[in-house]
C-alpha cells in the first residue's frame, strides 16, 4: 500500500473519510463534504445509531453531488491521542478493504505539526501487514487490498517527514512478524542468522558465532539446549553506533528458540505447532535493531540473540544433567522444557561482561505461567532497577504494548536452591514466571536489567486495530519509544 500526504482538498474519486466527534458533531471537513452532498451526511447520522464514539464507522454510498464512491464517517471520540489515532488508522484500513476500496483519502482537520495524520498513517501501515508468502492462491472472498491511501492535512510536508520516521519503526515490526510467522523448517538457527546479516545493509555491524566459538567462550548452557538438534546453534550480535561520540551502550537480549519440542521433557502434541514462535524475543530484538538503524537513532545499541532448536535425540540434554554456565555457576537441569532461561543465562552473561552496557533488557517467550497470570493483554516485566522499569512501563502505555511489573524477592530465589549444583533450572509448580526471572537475575551481576516475559503477547488469535491475527511484533514499538524518549543524544 502506498501512503501519500497532501494539503487539504476535496478528493474527486475513491472513498473519502471524514471525522465526527462524539454526539454526532461533524468535523470541519465533514461539514464541507456534507455541504457538497446537500446534507446527506447529516441525514445519515440523524437516521442511524452512529454517535461519533471512538471505533464507530458509518458509510454513505456515492452521495449525490460528489464524484467519490463513498464517504465514511469515522468516530473520533472526545479527543484522540497518538495511540487512538493509530487505532483509527488501523480500523479504517480494515474497513476500507472489507468494503472493496482500492483508493481512499482521509481528511484531517488538525493544524500544522499535529501528530494525528502521521499516526493514522502508521496505524494503517501496521494493520496492512500480511504473511501470505506461502499461499499459492487467494481464498475466495478475500479482502481487496487498498492500493493508495492519501492523508490530506495542513502542513503535508511536515506530516510526511514525521511519518517517514514512524514508517521505519513499522518496518521493524514487520520484520519481527515475518520471523515469528516463518515455519520451523524454514527458520532455524543458521537461516535466522542469515536474516540478521541482511541488516548490515542499514549500517548495522553483525557478528555471528557458531558452536566452535561458543565452546571457546564456554557457553555450555546455551549449547546444551541445542545439542539434540541437527541444526547448529548460533549467537548473533548486532551493533548500531548511532552516537559515535558517546561511550555509552545499551543492550537488548533475545531468546531465539526456533522450535521448542520441549526436548526429552517432551511437550504435549496439542498446539506444539505454535512453538515455532518460541524465538519471539530474538525476533523483537532483530526488528528493533532494524527500526533504530532505519530511523538513524542517535544511540549506541547492541542486540544479542541466542539461536537454538530444542529437540529430543540420543544426544539431547537429559533431566538430571549438571551444566556449567559461562559465568562459572552450575545448573542442574530438572526439566529440558525450561530451556529458554538456559539460553539467556549465557547470552546475558556474555552481554554484560563483553559490552559493559548502561542497562540490559531481555525479551523471551519464557513461561506459560505468564499467560495464566496476565492472559494476552499485558507482558510481565521483572527488574532490579526502578528507573528502567518506569521508562519501560511509560513507553508501553504510550504505544499500547502494555507491561505489568511482577516481584523479585529472596523468598522466590530460594526456590532455585539445589542439592548438587549452584541452582536448578526450575523452582517448582508455584510462581513459575517469577522463579524464571530470579534464575535470569543470577546472570546479570549488578547491571541495571529488566526481563520482559512476552509469552502471552507474541502471537494473537484475533485481529486488533493495528495488529492482524498472527505474529504481533509486540515489543518493537515499545522499546523504540523507550529509547527515543529517554536515551537518544
Show which residues are catalytic.
Answer: 267, 341
- Closest by Cα among 318, 284, 481 to 400: 481
Task: Give residue for cell 500480511.
Answer: 130
Whether residue 182 contacts residue 36, with contact meaning beta carbons closer than 8 Å, is answered with: no
Could you count the other beta carbons within 10 Å of the beta carbon of residue 85? Answer: 23
The C-alpha R_g of the chain, in whole angstroms, comes to 25
How is residue 10 written as a grid cell? 476535496
3-state DSSP of the chain: CEEEEECCCCCCCCEEEEEEEHHHEECHHHHHHHHHCCCHHHHHHHCCCCCCCCCCEEEEECCCCCCCCEEEEEEEECCCCHHHHHHHHHHHHHHHHHHCCCEEEEECCCCCCCCHHHHHHHHHHHHCCCCCCCCCCCCCCCCCCCCEEEEECCCHHHHHHHHHHHHHHHHHHHHHHHHHHCCCCCCCHHHHHHHHHHHHHHCCEEEEECHHHHHHCCCHHHHHHHCCCCCCCEEEEEEEECCCCCCCCEEEEEEEEEEECCCCCCCCCCCHHHHHHCCHHHHHHHHHHHHHHHCCCCCEEEEEEEEEEECCCCCCCCCCCEEECCCCCEEECCCCCCCHHHHHHHHHHHHHHHHCCCCEEEEECCCHHHHHHHCCCCEEEEECCHHHHHHHHHHHHHHCCCEEECCCCHHHHHHHCCCCCCEECCCCCCCHHHHHHHHHHCCCCCCCEEEEECCCCCEECCCECCECCEECCCCHHHHHHHHHHHCCC
Whether residue 283 contacts residue 179, with contact meaning beta carbons closer than 8 Å, is answered with: yes
- Provide the sign of the torsion angle of the four alpha carbons 17, 23, 27, 28, taken in this order: positive
Amino acid at each position: 500500500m502506498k501512503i501519500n500526504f497532501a494539503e487539504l482538498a476535496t478528493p474527486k474519486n475513491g472513498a473519502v473519510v471524514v471525522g465526527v466527534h462524539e454526539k454526532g458533531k461533524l468535523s470541519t471537513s465533514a461539514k464541507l463534504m456534507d455541504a457538497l452532498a446537500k446534507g446527506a451526511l447529516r441525514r445519515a447520522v440523524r437516521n442511524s445509531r452512529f454517535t461519533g464514539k471512538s471505533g464507530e464507522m458509518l458509510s454513505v454510498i456515492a452521495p449525490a453531488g460528489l464524484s467519490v464512491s463513498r464517504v465514511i464517517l469515522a468516530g473520533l471520540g472526545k479527543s484522540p491521542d497518538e495511540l487512538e489515532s493509530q487505532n483509527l488508522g488501523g480500523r479504517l484500513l480494515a474497513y476500507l478493504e472489507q468494503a472493496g476500496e482500492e483508493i481512499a483519502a482521509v481528511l484531517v482537520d488538525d493544524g500544522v505539526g499535529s501528530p494525528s495524520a502521521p499516526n493514522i498513517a502508521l496505524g494503517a501501515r501496521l494493520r496492512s501487514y500480511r504473511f501470505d508468502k506461502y499461499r499459492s492462491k487467494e481464498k475466495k472472498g478475500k479482502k481487496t487490498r487498498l492500493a493508495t491511501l492519501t492523508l490530506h492535512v495542513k502542513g503535508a510536508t511536515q506530516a510526511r517527514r514525521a511519518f517517514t520516521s514512524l514508517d521505519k519503526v513499522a518496518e521493524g515490526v514487520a520484520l519481527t512478524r515475518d520471523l515469528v510467522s516463518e515455519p520451523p523448517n524454514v527458520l532455524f538457527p543458521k537461516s535466522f542468522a542469515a536474516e540478521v546479516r541482511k541488516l548490515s545493509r542499514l549500517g548495522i555491524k553483525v557478528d555471528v558465532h557458531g558452536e566452535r566459538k561458543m565452546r571457546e567462550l564456554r557457553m555450555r548452557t546455551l549449547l546444551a539446549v541445542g545439542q539434540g538438534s541437527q541444526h547448529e546453534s548460533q549467537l548473533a550480535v548486532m551493533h548500531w553506533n548511532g552516537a559515535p561520540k558517546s561511550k555509552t551502550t545499551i543492550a537488548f537480549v533475545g531468546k531465539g528458540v526456533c522450535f521448542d519440542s520441549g526436548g526429552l521433557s517432551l511437550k504435549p502434541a496439542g498446539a506444539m505447532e505454535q512453538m515455532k514462535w518460541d524465538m519471539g524475543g530474538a525476533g523483537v530484538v532483530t526488528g528493533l535493531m532494524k527500526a533504530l538503524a532505519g530511523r538513524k537513532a542517535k544511540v549506541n545499541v547492541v542486540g544479542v540473540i541466542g539461536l537454538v532448536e530444542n529437540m529430543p535425540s540420543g544426544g539431547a540434554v537429559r533431566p538430571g544433567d549438571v551444566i556449567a554456565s559461562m559465568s562459572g555457576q552450575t545448573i542442574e537441569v530438572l526439566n529440558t522444557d525450561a530451556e529458554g532461561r538456559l539460553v539467556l543465562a549465557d547470552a546475558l552473561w556474555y552481554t554484560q561482561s563483553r559490552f559493559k552496557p548502561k542497562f540490559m533488557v531481555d525479551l523471551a517467550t519464557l513461561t506459560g505461567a505468564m499467560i495464566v497470570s496476565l492472559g494476552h493483554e499485558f507482558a510481565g516485566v521483572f527488574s532490579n532497577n526502578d528507573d528502567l522499569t518506569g521508562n519501560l512501563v511509560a513507553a508501553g502505555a504510550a504505544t499500547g504494548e502494555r507491561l505489568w511489573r511482577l516481584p523479585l524477592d529472596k523468598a522466590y530465589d530460594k526456590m532455585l536452591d539445589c542439592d548438587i549444583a549452584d541452582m536448578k533450572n526450575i523452582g517448582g509448580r508455584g510462581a513459575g514466571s517469577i522463579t524464571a526471572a530470579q534464575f535470569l537475575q543470577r546472570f546479570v551481576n549488578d547491571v541495571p536489567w529488566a526481563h520482559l516475559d512476552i509469552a502471552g503477547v507474541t502471537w494473537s488469535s484475533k485481529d486488533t486495530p493495528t495488529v492482524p491475527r498472527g505474529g504481533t511484533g509486540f515489543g518493537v514499538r515499545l522499546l523504540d519509544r523507550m529509547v527515543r524518549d529517554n536515551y537518544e543524544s
